[in-house]
Amino acid sequence: MRNEDDHQRFWEDRLAEDWTVSGVGYQALGRPFNAWMYRVRREVFLREVRSLSISDTSRILDVGSGTGFYVDCWREAGAGEVVGSDLTESAVGRLRGRFPDVTFVQVDITRAQDELPEASFDAASCMDVLFHITDDERYLAGLRNIARLVKPGGSFVLSENFLNRPRDRTAHQVSRTKEWIVSALEGAGFRVERRVPMLVLMNAQVDAPRVWRKVWGGALRAVTLTQPTGWLAGAALYQVDRQLVRRMSESPTTELMICRRTGS
């Protein structure tokens, strides 16, 4: 079986078993903690996309919709039409049931596909997806495909880890360097406009020194061993993180980036 088939099966199985914020988030920390974490994500996402020219005539593409979290955010931000997509059949089937008035398509954004017309979206989002594309060539192909779908002058909103240290690889995730990601975006036809922290303490500290990564990761797993303690830890850290993401210019974990599609 090819590696890309393994990758798709991994996500088919995971989302079929856990179609919640923990299934698409930091699963080891449990659902209550992830629910608080996603509250911070929502606040950051809405703050940033509301600064874009989004209106009831805007057409948005959400790549890797998962549970539909960011589909819901786009609609809250005032987008007129949102089209969702996902790699997995299990997610697309459930998304169509949850959002009967939204179009969802099953696509692998790293492959050439004709399901969506060129330059037909005013903005696109790809949240917590790109670092799960472990092959660099497929990553680059995914960015080129997204660029093909966004109108010139349109926006691209993504989340990534943007490491200042050498890349870090696990079986289903690769955290790449900030320089490599920016170069890949520019090569695909995007101009970076800004990058802001999306989380600070409520996620794996992938861009921190090794000792802190280990210590904080162990502390998070310890306080989330049960659902009640996970809820309490999430509630406490939510209040801290929602302040930190506004005050800090960089984060040791996931950040949100806004890009503009170049061209005429």
pLDDT (0 to 100) of residue 44: 98
Cβ-based neighbour number of residue 228 at 10 Å: 9
Cβ-based neighbour number of residue 187 at 10 Å: 12
Range of the domain at 98: 3-261
d(CA 42, CA 46): 6
* Range 89-93, long-range pairs (CB < 8 A, 24+ positions): 89/12, 90/12, 90/15, 90/16, 90/19, 91/11, 91/15, 91/19, 91/65, 91/66, 91/67
Mean pLDDT estimate for the chain: 94
pLDDT higher than threshold 50 for residue 1: no
The enclosing domain of 93 has a CATH number of 3.40.50.150
At 249-259, the pLDDT tens digits run: 999 999 999 99
Return the C-alpha torsion angle 241, 63, 180, 246, nearest 10: -20
Residue 165, classed as helix, strand or coil, is: coil
pLDDT higher than threshold 60 for residue 67: yes
d(CA 130, CA 128): 6
2 pLDDT band (50/70/90 cuts)?
A: very low
pTM score, two decimals?
A: 0.94
> Tokens for 254?
């996931």
At 209-238, the pLDDT tens digits run: 999 999 999 999 999 999 999 999 999 999
pLDDT higher than threshold 80 for residue 129: yes
pLDDT (0 to 100) of residue 3: 61
pLDDT (0 to 100) of residue 264: 66
Please give the average per-residue pLDDT across 107-111, as a whole number: 92
Please give the average per-residue pLDDT across 119-147, as a whole number: 96
Return the C-alpha torsion angle 40, 70, 72, 77, nearest 10: 80
Region of residue 153 (phi > 0: left; psi between -120 and 50: alpha; otherwise: beta): left
Q: Which of 138, 118, 119 is nearest to 129 (CA)?
A: 138
Q: Are strands 173-175 and 168-170 parallel, antiparallel or unpaired?
A: antiparallel
pLDDT higher than threshold 80 for residue 182: yes
pLDDT higher than threshold 90 for residue 171: no
The structural domain count of the chain equals 1
